[in-house]
A = this chain, B = another copy of it.
């Protein structure tokens, strides 16, 4: 898991080889996403990928190594899809845009309501290596969000007393819970409700200009 040598997992690797390797990981990631890790067979990966078994074992010593790579790919994908958006966050409005893109993203590609990271985390949390990697991914994700909240605080929109890190954790938790309920109930409503709660929670820490203090309707 730790990076020991200079290049340990690439002892002379052609562009083509790297591509195949990547394809294997992608295929495994997809199968594991849909069926779960334990339920996914190496033979399934081989078949779905259209390669022969010897190729799989040419690139990966065993299933665990493949799983490790799948996790790594999940992190890359999360960052590449989330970072561009979260880096833009400077206001409550931006955060709402982020939420909307999560929702619409699931609507157009009709991928099941399910978090590729959360589902791995649930299944692999009893294996410490994997668990730690997944914890790091969550941290990273949370960090991206927290950075946005920090910017909101610096720009004065967020209350100076608000804790961006803590808010970010809450938002990710809501996201995960929303995914799980939506998936289980096969209904996107819990996902929407959870995300709205999360954003409301952030909004509760938005600096309230006096103008916003309208008279209470009592």
Contacts and interface: CB of A to CB of B under 8 A. Distances in A.
Interface string A191-217: 001101110110010001110010010
Contact of A166 (B174, B181, B193, B216): B193
Interface in A111-144: 114, 118-119, 121-123, 125-126, 131, 134-135, 138-139
Interface stretch (A2-10, A13-21, A35-43, A50-58): A35-43
A85 B146 CA distance: 35
B181 A173 contact: yes
Interface stretch (A75-83, A91-99, A102-110, A182-190): A182-190
A210 B216 contact: yes
A123 B123 CA distance: 7
A189 B174 CA distance: 14
A49 interface: no
Contacts of A138: 181, 184-185
Contacts of A190: 169, 173
A183 B135 CA distance: 9
Contacts of A123: 36, 122-123
- The 9 A-B pairs at the shortest CB distance, nearest first, are namely A177-B177, A173-B177, A176-B177, A173-B194, A38-B38, A122-B122, A170-B197, A121-B184, A197-B201
